[in-house]
Amino acid sequence: MPDRRELCSFPNVVRRVLSDDEGQVLEYYVFVIPSDLAKTLTFVPVFEGSNKPVLEEVVGTGDAEGYQRPGSRTRMRKFGEFLGSYPLSVVPAVVLSGRDNWEFEPSETGGDVGTLRCFGPAAIIDGQHRVGGYVHLYETDETVRPLEVMLVPGLSLADETKLFLDINNNQNSVVAGLTSILSGSDQAVIGRALLDDADSPLQGRISIALRKPGNLFTMNAMTTNISRTFSHGAFHDPAQEASLDDQLDIMKGYWTRICDTFVDEWADADKKPRERAFKLCETTGLIAFSHAAQDILGPNYDPVRRIMNWPQVEDALRSLEADPRLDLRKDGPFMGLTGEVGGAAIHKRIQLVLAAHGGSEDSHLEDLADE
């Protein structure tokens, strides 16, 4: 194996070691990178790339997926302008992962000071907007500023992801749906499949970090409402609880039938937000029909055999679509009602219409006995 080419080295680096009561040890290095090298020596492991990134972005795949949202050019620019205006400002250190590209060489006298040699870029775990600000300042007027960093060697991708979550989980800068995906919640697993699977009516309709054309719902809203969809007691029989695969199939079946029944309303999905005429393709509609699952899906689910009476579900949806009292136009009776308030109001109307059509409590699960 040929020797790796050294890109640069940093003398007078301080090595620090942390340990806990269980004997686990974490080593990291503290030093300064001049801002004219920051762009070359770092990258951001992102979940999806941006159109015009300031920093190098690497979009992972499979087991090596990225775990951060793309950076905001505006935030980076504003931070760079702040640095230019306040040169004596104190900025917290950026946290990097060495990705096996950095090697520490102790000084001849030993101890915790030495030289850190760089053979490739480090992953930014925390501080991409700070790094972007320093880069913006340098690229704007060639001002070189010292960027303090803490580099942690030997981290696995899972370790990086956990550290990222530990640092950012309570900050508004992290997208809630992305946090759910990284922490592996059941609802996020289902939400990701709904976004990706070819047989999903919501394929490409869910945004994780960046809003894209065709996106209807955020992953955060999706995960919240997946949980809401399965709030009916029929899905929580301890002996026969619906598996993730069952829940995914039910979500696909439910929303496929909603799309097929409310044809005019679902046609909004391919329109720009300001051109949409109905509430179904808004988060309000997602909330309303997720609430309504307790009236439509719950009574029609057999937890013992884990099967859904889809003909009854279709009947309920057709009765809703045909009843003029359920008017989902944005300028109709629910005008101005959005989010949780609007979703709850539409759900009450759904319950009223279902009751008028005989309800969904008599689900006739016996019809499935011979299947």
pLDDT, tens digit (0-9, with 9 covering 90-100), for 70-127: 888 888 998 999 999 998 989 999 999 999 999 999 998 878 999 999 999 999 999 9
pLDDT, tens digit (0-9, with 9 covering 90-100), for 212-226: 888 999 988 999 999
Same domain (yes/no): 295, 312 = yes
Q: Is 1 contained in some domain?
A: no
- Quick one: CA torsion of 234, 325, 276, 222, rounded to 10 degrees? -10
Same domain (yes/no): 49, 196 = no
Name the residue range of residue 237's domain.
176-368
Pairing of strands 122-126, 42-46: parallel
pLDDT at 370: 38
Task: Return the DSSP state at 329.
Answer: B
CA-closest candidate to residue 99, choices 116, 120, 70, 69:
120
CA-closest candidate to residue 204, choices 192, 221, 186:
192
Greater model confidence, 357 or 316: 316
Q: Is 339 contained in some domain?
A: yes
pTM, whole model, 2 decimals? Answer: 0.65
Same domain (yes/no): 199, 325 = yes
Q: Is 133 contained in some domain?
A: yes
How does the average pLDDT of the chain come out, rounded?
88
Same domain (yes/no): 125, 81 = yes
Give residues with Cβ within 8 angstroms of 44, minimum separation 6. Answer: 53, 55, 56, 57, 58, 66, 68, 70, 71, 123, 124, 128
Q: How far apart are CA 203 and CA 189, in angstroms?
A: 14
The residue assigned the tokens 């899906």 is 297
Q: How far apart are CA 8 and CA 362, in angstroms?
A: 73
